[in-house]
Amino acid sequence: MDASLLTLTACAIAALAAAIVYRYRPSARARRNQLRVVRALHAQRLEVERYAEQQRLRITREARAGKDGAA
């Protein structure tokens, strides 16, 4: 295959890929909604982590109190 035909083929493939990406990219509204969902999930995960940490501390505190009371 000669170089100019190879270059032409590569450009055609790149143009086709760019057209496909452009056609199937999410709309601005879809991107905003997706970002809103990601933020909500992140906030929910932080809330769950905070709750788990509080429970861990509570259990540790109760275990210490029980050990001190038994001794």
Alpha-carbon distance of 69 to 66, in angstroms, equals: 5
* pTM given for the model: 0.54
CA–CA distance, 28 with 16 (Å, rounded to integer): 22
> Residue 25: what pLDDT?
83
Q: How many domains does the chain have?
A: 1
Quote the domain boundaries for residue 7. 3-70
Q: Which of 26, 7, 3, 25 is nearest to 15 (CA)?
A: 7
Check pLDDT > 90 for residue 1: no
Residue with tokens 């259990």: 59
Instruction: Tell me the per-residue pLDDT of 10-57, one tens digit each, with 9 for 90 and over.
Output: 989 999 998 888 888 888 898 899 999 999 999 999 999 999 999 999
